[in-house]
Structure 1
Amino acid sequence: MENYQAWVQDEIAPFSNLKYKSIEYPTINEKELIIETKAATLNFADLLLSSGMYQSNPKTPFVPGFEVAGTVKECSTDSKFHVGDRVVAATTVFRSGRHGSFGEYCVASENLAYKLPEEISYEVGAAMLMSYLTSDFALHRRAQLKKGEIVLVNAAAGGVGISAVQLAKIQGAKVIAAVGSDKKKKFIDQFEPDLVINYQKENLKDVVEEKFGKRSVNVFYDQVGGEPYEEGIRLLSSEGRALIVGFASGNIPSQLLSYLLVKNISIMGVFMISFENDDKEYLETRMKTIFDRYLSKEIKPVYKTINFDEIVKYLELIGSRKTIGRIVALR
């Protein structure tokens, strides 16, 4: 095969410049897979990638798309996978690869691919992969969350935020869910957080302190950055932990180290992709736990399915903060 069809970014520019067109079929290195895309998840990071603001950017032309569910089309001879296996995977776009999941085929590292149980659909697998694995890694591995601790989750109605709320509750924590509208406030109630705050209308500090007292938050889960980060960090208790998951606001905070020092606060980066080489067995074990929790109905991913030709439209909605849960494009 010489070419395949995909949403292609020909130059670093707004995502609206994506064109559905032909691009050369990929070749793979050892420990990589070519996956036939069945479902691709849209992420805010796709917007950063298109505009050249992501941590690492591929050479143009490239195909965006960080997450995929599909079937293995090609693998190396000594691979633990076989052609035809059902998998979910993080694509190599995470490390400057050019063949993401917004096409007929994509490339993924074996170390970030997981066999998808037959009982779980492609769309559910795609909706769960990075959101639940990221939140599990953040809360379980990085923060080492304990039963009874208080967790503040920013952007709690987004795909990653919803997973953090659910997993924190499973671990016995008390959860404060911060959202940006009354619609999202009503929505997140179904997951039974202990406190829900619409930060567009309510003062986060005042509401949290009225409910739990001053500097009562043990773990702050932040994927926004900017002003929401500055507000959340000052609610942390002594020996509190701030989990830095992302910067959806586009504003990467700078932190006065003196404040962290005198308050005994820890800032923890959360980028589980780096465990591709550092501890891939840990990620594999935790992904199996997530699948098991879904099958036992302990967790409920929230997502909307769209057609592949609607990807640009829904990237725009993600950029304008008008979505709830995850958006999964089906082929």
Structure 2
Amino acid sequence: MQAWQVHENGEPSEVMRLAEVERPTPGDGQVLLRVRAANINFPDALMCRGQYQVRPPLPFTPGVEICGETEDGRRVIANPALPYGGLAEYALADAHALLPAPKSLDDAEAAALHVGYQTGWFALHRRARLEAGETLLVHAAAGGVGSAAVQLGKAAGATVIGVVGGADKAAVARELGCDVVVDRRSEDVIAAVKEATGGRGADVIYDPVGGQAYAQSAKLVAFEGRIVVVGFASGTVPSPALNHALVKNYSILGLHWGLYATKNPKLILRCHEELTELAARGVIKPLVSERVPLGEAAAAVQKVADGRTTGRIAVVMEGAA
């Protein structure tokens, strides 16, 4: 089979190599999946660079999110068991963690309903307890993670403010349903959000960026607001001033979605059931901005690493739906 492999750490376009390799053999509790579509995520780029919290042994195949097919013909979504990731014709996954692919979504959309939407659901509902009528601010609102949070916020009845970088991404954020869109490249984010909220700020802030975005969040969070930290796409991990959280009376919440797989796996299934229902009703629909063949996967991972994407890029296998 064909699979992309990383033999040394570095930039994805430089270290990913497409090779002919043997199909992986499932271990105890694992299944072999024929990959139908694989979603590109920022962690794929970080793993190539050796900067992710999970460091699979070299050589490894990137790809942490797929829609695949079991040997008995079931269409499922899964997080592949590294080092046999999803940027290949076949991948391995833990049998107990397979989720049925929603019938309302095609393969690329189904693959994209996993990590980003589960992260958004757990962050907004489990951690921040977002309520209808509240204001949600989403950083990087046109990206893969941010776009999911925007849709989930709207589905929950929140007023959504999307912060983006560039006019093209601003247009995408509006199409996603953001009530207010702020272009950080041409606007003063703090002034624009304060004006939009009458000076009150946002009740919940969803931050997959860190760095300057977090500094803005601390100035824009409302009384008894909640900042949910879900990642550091900027490459800068902020050091919050806890005295500021005390004086302004707000909460700083962390969300590591992967922990639920071992700490409370039943919640992942419940979340998937709710996401499937929302997708069936057309309330949410993963934004797949590009669909590329397997041979273009390295360029796609590099594009995500460089922050030049909106929504998700999906690697779609020949014959997939």
TM-score of the pair, normalised by structure 1: 0.91
SS at match of 2:97: strand
Match of 2:154 in 1: 169
Per the alignment, residue 308 of structure 1 pairs with 294
Mapping 1:150-161, distance limit 5 Å? 150-161=135-146
Match of 1:120 in 2: 105
Partner of 1:90: 79
Q: Is the 8 A contact 2:109 2:285 kept in 1?
A: no
C-alpha separation in 1, matches of 2:32 and 2:266: 21
* Aligned twin of 2:9: 12
**Equivalence for 1:325:** 311
Q: Paired residue for 2:40?
A: 42
Cα distance per residue 1:119-170 (max 9 Å; x no partner) = 4321220122222111111111111101111111000001111111111011
- Provide the residue aligned with 1:288 in structure 2: 273
CA contact (8 A) 1:166 1:299 kept: yes
SS at match of 1:186: helix
Residue 91 of structure 1 aligns to a residue in which SS? coil
Please report the RMSD computed on the Cα atoms of aligned residues, expressed in angstroms: 1.6
Number of residues paired by the alignment? Answer: 315
- TM-fit CA distance, 1:265: 2.1
Counterpart CA distance in 1 for 2:302 and 2:59 is: 21
Deviation at 1:111, TM superposition (A): 4.3
Three-state SS of the structure 1 residue aligned to 2:70 is strand
1:54 maps onto 2:52 in alignment: yes
Aligned mates of 1:21, 1:110 — CA distance in 2: 26
Aligned residue identity for 2:76: V
Deviation at 1:311, TM superposition (A): 0.8
1:99 aligned onto 2:84: yes
TM-score normalized with structure 2 length: 0.93
| Distance of 1:69 and 1:300 partners within structure 2 | 15
Give 1:215 shift. Answer: 4.3
Matches within 5 A, 1:175-190: 175-190=160-175
- Of residues 181, 193, 209, the one that matches 2:194 is 209
Q: Which runs of 5+ in 1 are unaligned?
A: 74-82
Task: Structure 2 unaligned segments of length 5 or more: list them.
Answer: none
Q: Out of 119-128 and 156-165, give the one that drifted further.
A: 119-128
Shift of 1:118: 4.0
The answer as to whether partners of 2:164 and 2:181 remain within 8 angstroms in 1 is yes
Mapped to 2, the partners of 1:318 and 1:118 lie a distance apart of 27
Identity of aligned residues (%): 35
CA distance in 2, matches of 1:138, 1:13: 31
Higher relative contact order (CA 8 A, sep 6+): 2
